[in-house]
Amino acid sequence: MTIPVSIQNVIRREYEAGKSLRAIATDYGLSRNTVTKYVDRQDFSVKPRPTSSRSRVDPYSEVILHWLKQDETAPRKQRHTGVRIWQRLIDEHGFEGSVDAVQRWLRKYRENQAKPGEGYTELAWQPATMQVDFGEAQAVIAGNTVAIHILAVTFPFSNARYCIALPGQSVECFCWGLRQIMEHVGFVPRVMVFDNAPALVRITPGNKRHLTELFSSFLTHYGIEATFTNPASGNEKGSVENAVGYLRRNMLVPIPAAETLEGLSKQLLKKCDQLLDLRHYRKDERIGDLFKIDQLESKPLPGIGFDACTWMTRLVDKVGNIQVKGTRYFVGSHLQGQNVQVGLRANSIEVCDLQMRRIIETKRVWAKSSETVLDPVMLLESLTLKPVSFSQSPIRKFIPATLNTYIDKQSLPDKRELLLLVKELSYDYGFKETITAAAEVVTSGRKLDEPSLNITLRRARQPKAERPQPVIDFTVYDRLARQNGANNA
């Protein structure tokens, strides 16, 4: 039996508060085994169930899509419903499935096409309470000045403050960032206070709050109680509102530099640890000593970290791309027309087939761009099937001109063989290293084949040993001089 995540969270909190399994089961009309399952469960990460069977409606998808296309110009009240589509499929195409099957198909299609109890404010902050907010700043990442998002948290009882750098303010970034901070400090606060961020909560008429699925699962995974401020009431979490400005002025001036956001976050967390030596602005005690009370009143980290990943289904278009949050990602032209599972994380995108076997994992792109995000190795996968496409392939921008020219001159079978060789060695050595080695072979005038490329790659990986310097023994000359003198005598 599966129960709503919100009830699972309540069950865990009541059990931690000392309520018996039997009493919880009675209150919610559940079996004791069901209550025990959610109390003992460690991992609440959201994962889709593998899909193994096709819908009976799939063979009629083009027909249905044609009808839905016609609906776009029809009056709103004269458009196809699930029942009407089912009736037309039976009458016009001999469909033998149920109306439920049609409605399930229609619901999944609309989901794929879709565009992207009240809280309270505590004024006397108790230990093990955390306030959360986002701020914006600039940083130099890998030599480029970029806009970044600073996830800041405070523990208002002790005034301990922490922050990390993230690429956005999505629910995946919220959950991932909070996990990183909790793992850094080594415990889980009992209460977190948020504003009404759209990534976390949706407010419906009547001022009802509905948590997004991933965020709700995150709270349940760690057993956290979330409270929310009233609209336009930043003073209800004034500790973190002030901390955002304080951390930005004291840790991001001058503009910091790092190779990656993860590297910048490590710098920020280390600086935040140093703030524990300051004294509390009102209690005149060391913040670090008060922070120990926060820790004692908090909960231990679970054995499994939460996977902050939103899963969705996407259809691969005719050239092998999927569209995710306004960005195109190339997953392979051999997958055209197929549905794939897409896992969206703060820093990456994972693509799996419907049996949850990984196809590719690539960096998530946040900046809006008209260009398709490409993994060169995935392009090689397609080019080995259609090597004639190499002359117009976007992979050419990843390859030196001399190597492109060399491959262009090959016959079609030889071209396929070369592309297959580069693809296979890219899995072992990396695409960039393999292409660099291949260009070196071609530039040196040698034939590019498996022996020459393998030797060049292995040599590039071996550390260059220092050539030993000869030691000259000058006493040899003294002995020779004495021998010559003796001979002349």
- Domain match, 54 and 34 both: no
How long is the chain?
Answer: 489
Where does the pLDDT of residue 473 fall: very low under 50, low under 70, confident under 90, or very high at 90 and above? low
Tell me whether residue 71 is in a domain. Answer: no
Angstrom distance (rounded) from CA 158 to CA 279? 10
Residues 6+ positions from 454 with CB-CB distance below 8 Å: 425
pLDDT in tens, 119-167: 444 456 889 999 999 999 899 999 999 999 999 999 999 999 999 999 9
Q: Does residue 478 share a domain with residue 444?
A: yes
In a domain, 19, yes or no: yes
Paired residues of 201 in beta bridges = 211
Per-residue tokens: 30 = 């559940």
Residue 16 and residue 150 in one domain: no
Cite the beta strand spans of 67-197 per DSSP E: 129-141, 144-155, 160-166, 191-194
- 138: three-class secondary structure by DSSP: strand
Give yes or no: residues 172 and 226 share one domain.
yes
Whether the upstream peptide bond of residue 198 has omega within 30° of 0, thus cis, is: no
Average pLDDT estimate for 198-218: 87
Q: Which of 268, 297, 326 is the last residue of a domain?
A: 297
Residue ranges of E strands in 58-214: 129-141, 144-155, 160-166, 191-194, 201-204, 208-211
Domain count, the chain: 5
Residues 12 and 107 grouped into a single domain = no
**Residue 233 — pLDDT band, cuts 50, 70, 90?**
low
Q: Are residue 9 and residue 103 in the same domain, yes or no?
A: no
Could you tell me if 364 and 384 lie in one domain? no
Do 407 and 291 fall within a single domain? no
Residue 314 has pLDDT above 90, yes or no: yes
Q: Comparing 47-56, 75-84, 356-365, which segment has the lowest mean pLDDT?
A: 47-56
Instruction: Give me the pLDDT at residue 476, please.
Output: 56
Contact (CB, 8 A) for 302 and 41? no
Does some domain include residue 141? Answer: yes
148/223 same-domain check: yes
Q: Please tell me whether residues 164 and 290 are part of one structural domain.
A: yes
* Residue 27 forms part of a structural domain: yes
- Cis omega (within 30 of 0) on the bond before 48? no
Residue 181: CATH number of its domain: 3.30.420.10
Residue 322 pLDDT exceeds 70: yes
Same domain flag for 180 and 247: yes
> 342 versus 466: which is more confidently predicted?
342
The per-residue pLDDT of the chain, averaged, comes to 85
Decide if 74 is inside a domain.
no
Task: Say if 123 falls within a structural domain.
Answer: no
Please give the residue that has the higher pLDDT: either 300 or 196: 300
Q: Do 293 and 182 fall into the same domain?
A: yes
> Which tens digit of pLDDT belongs to each residue from 253-274?
888 999 999 999 999 999 999 9
Range of the domain at 92: 42-64+81-115
pLDDT > 90: what percent of the chain? 38
Position 467 confidence tier, pLDDT thresholds 50, 70, 90: very low
- Please give the pLDDT value at position 115: 59
Instruction: Look at residue 303 and tell me if it is in a domain.
Output: no
pLDDT of residue 480: 61
Q: How far apart are CA 273 and CA 372, in angstroms?
A: 41
Q: Is residue 316 within 8 Å of residue 337, measured between CB atoms? A: yes
Share of the chain above pLDDT 70, in %: 89
Structure tokens at 308: 């902050």
Q: Which amino acid is at 487?
A: N
For residue 76, is it within any domain?
no
Which of these three, 253, 273, 297, is where a domain ends?
A: 297
Q: What is the pLDDT of residues 90-119, one digit of tens each?
A: 999 888 888 889 998 888 888 777 655 444
pLDDT, mean of residues 358-377: 85
Asked if pLDDT for residue 62 goes beyond 60, the answer is yes
